[in-house]
Amino acid sequence: MLSKEEIELFLDKNVSIGVPHSIMEGQLFFYYGRLIYVDFDEIKLETKNGFKIVPIKMIQDIHEDRRKYG
């Protein structure tokens, strides 16, 4: 699990967030968007179609993305 402090480094940036895939075990599913909020339990992404809240305990990967959101 990534820490809140590690995730906060990406605040206000376009990111890809990897969480465990619900069907394909051992694979990650990615959410894409602009990271707009981080607290101790969850993050909020602004996506093309709205917002997505992801629990921090599920996040296994985060990296900058060149796509534009919001």
Owner of token pair 């990271």: 35
Contact status, residue 8 vs residue 38, Cβ threshold 8 Å: yes
pTM of the model as a whole: 0.89
69, two tokens: 């959101």
Q: How many domains does the chain have?
A: 1
pLDDT of residue 37: 97
Q: What is the CA radius of gyration of the chain?
A: 11
In a domain, 50, yes or no: yes
The per-residue pLDDT for range 24-42, each reduced to its tens digit, is: 999 999 999 999 999 999 9
In a domain, 70, yes or no: no
Q: CATH number, domain at 39?
A: 2.30.30.100
Quickly state the pLDDT bin for 53 (edges 50, 70, 90).
very high
First to last CA, the chain: 27
